[in-house]
Amino acid sequence: MLMTLIAFVVALGLLIAVHEWGHYRMAVACGVKVLRFSVGFGKVVLRYKPRRQRPGQDTEFVVGLLPLGGYVRMLDEREAPVPPEERHLAFNTQPLRSRALIVAAGPVANLLLAVLLYALVNWIGVTEPRAILAPPVAGSVAEQAGLQGGELVRRAALSGDELEPVASFESLRWLLTRGVLDGRDVVLEVARAADGRGRELSLPLSTLQVPEVDARLFRKIGIVAPRTRPVIGDVMAGGAAARAGLRSGDLVLRMGSMPVNDGQQLREMIRATAQQGRPPALAWQIERAGQSLSIEVRPDVREEGGQTVGRIGAYVGAAPEMVKVSKGPLQGLWAGAERVWEVSALSLKLLGRMLMGELSLKNLSGPIAIADYAGKSAAMGLTYYLGFLAFISVSLGVLNLLPVPVLDGGHLMYYLWESVTGKPVADAWLERLQYVGMCLLLSMMAIAVYNDIANRLG
């Protein structure tokens, strides 16, 4: 819990500070006087004012008690009287181009930060599962396409694009997600370890109709997890595995008449034994210390999430085969920029499909989910936390560029109107639009928080 809180506060503080720094630096560059740079709202808990300021500046840097946002307060005749000798330093007296640049600089700073963070992940390298597939889910797109499990995905691409090497299983999942949201098929070049010969096949993801991007999506695709050896891990005392005589390190070869070649497959088979009531006792063929043995196992019945499932009281499946993914300086930077572009495009498509009713609003996540992800990624290691920060930074940048009043994109929309008509938006209209924008933003936040709570309550 403490790590989750620290990781969340650090993430929020960093991303807000970078966003506001973008506004601040562009304001200074455009000759606008900045009065206050604040990270957080409410009561000031930290305050700093440099003795040596840039020409024309007198900026106070503060940290507010509530770390849920920030602001850059500039000299502006619409907020307070401005001395005649400083009028040229006021925000409202600047040319349209300067005002637009200052407003856009915040979201752009978040996007540039995301490029750098993704590049750092690429340079440091991250250890991920190799793209060796487990047996596909029965009846799924992958099974119908001819995948059987055990295939190594060498290269892949969205339909119409050139095939590119697949670095890891996570890279493959990202491509599949893009394929579903883009409504495009995915082409795979796979090879079985037995013969090493490659073949191409197509996953018709454009045919999938999915209201939510979650674990059920990948079950429909059929590619849920990388292949793992079906090895028995820690055995709980008193469980079905212990009663049957299974031991840690046993390799399961067959469950009844069904061959087993993957840990995920074995877990699914054990769960399914309770579908017909009390699970039958089945002869498991296992390999122990180089010897083949037959052991009779009867799984226990458990109620989980409203379903009746079989359990044996043991950890099932070894860790997948791992590979370290890293890139050189220029390649890593370019890959970071590409990922920011892909995440931005995907975020906009996701929002668009939710507005059109093609995707459920359950895809919106709020601060509780973000805090949870922050803690989990921090616990996994530095590169995972950096990747999480990059993703949230992209989301913050894209969100703020949406043409919604009260957001930076809304102000840019006002400036677009001014550039076309030659007149600023009337104050009465500004007030109405700000009210509408605030209602939209609060509604989105309410839905996101509701989704967070609903997900945590199951």
Q: Which of 20, 128, 151, 189 is catalytic?
A: 20
Residue 191: exposure state from Cβ atoms within 10 A (0-12, 13-18, ≥19): middle
Q: What is d(CA 113, CA 233) in angstroms, rounded to the nearest whole number?
A: 41
Close Cβ partners of 61 (under 8 Å, ≥ 6 residues apart): 36, 37, 38, 47, 48, 49, 50
Q: Look up residue 325 and give its two tokens.
A: 């993914």
Q: How far apart are CA 322 and CA 35, in angstroms?
A: 52
* 300, 239 Cβ separation under 8 angstroms: yes
CA Rg, the chain, in Å?
A: 27
Cβ pair 32, 98 in contact under 8 A: yes
- Helix/strand/coil (H/E/C) assignment for every residue in 10-62: HHHHHHHHHHHHHHHHHHHHCCCCEEEEEEEEEEEEEEECCCCCCCCCCCEEE
- Chain centroid offset of residue 8 CA: 15
Give Cα 329 distance to the centre of its chain.
24
Strand extents, DSSP E, 305-442: 307-311, 314-316, 322-325
Task: Let me know if 304 is a catalytic residue.
Answer: no
Q: How many CA atoms lie within 13 A of 202 on its CB side?
A: 10
Residues designated as active site: 20
